[in-house]
Structure 1
Amino acid sequence: MNTADLNQKADSYKIGVGHMKELMPGMVDAYHHFTAACFADGVLDKKQKQLIALGISLFANNEVCTVYHVGEALSEGATPQEIMEATAVAAAVGSGHAMSQGVTRVQQALGSLTAGTQ
């Protein structure tokens, strides 16, 4: 994806949030307050939280959030190596998710759908 496309998506998000704020200002302000509190330094620092958010953004297949959290992680001092390691962890979780469903739900479905046909 090129920078212009990403900027357009980010702008669409900002415009959408602006429209929502016109209709529901308290909710949007509460959301921003909540997310600011979630990303503030705590036991986990801001960099660690941004790396976690990056992994979740990748797993959720959210392009705008992925780019946003890469930028935020960099601004909080993450190195490209740390960002790529977080990306690898997200890949492991994503493939592990498919594997866990395959060895549980899919096999259960096969068992119930093929019971009596064997």
Structure 2
Amino acid sequence: MREDTYIDEQSAYEFITWYFKKDETELTKKEFEGCLWFYDNKNKEYVLRKKYTGQYAIPVELFDKWQNHLKSKIIEPPLGVIPKWLHDEHRVKDLKAAINRYLDNNREVSAEWIDEYNLLVKSIRDRKSKV
């Protein structure tokens, strides 16, 4: 027995449009007892059928292929940059950890690190006080 996935009319239209185009498949549209069927002549299978409830049924395997096709068309926007305030907070933590590691090993801490740390702490404190 075949397992089906049920979809609405708009999704059925989108699915059948995709199915027609995917392999230039020749489909036969039939009506049996008031229900609509699409039959793939090449693969000898029903690919879409309208049920009495108004829902449309697609074999699970075809539904999965269609969903994978839709996912492959999604274009994600290019990755931007981390917001400055978040970068500064991460940088403060990194500087603090590096300074502490140097102090724990009795090493000389770069004056540039301390200056940058102090500037970032002041900037973060000022930004938080404005909010």
Q: Shorter-chain-normalised TM-score: which range?
A: under 0.3
Structure having the larger proportion of residues in helix: 1
The structure number with the bigger radius of gyration is: 2
**TM-score normalised by L of structure 1:** 0.23
TM-score by length of 2: 0.21
Structure with greater strand percent: 2
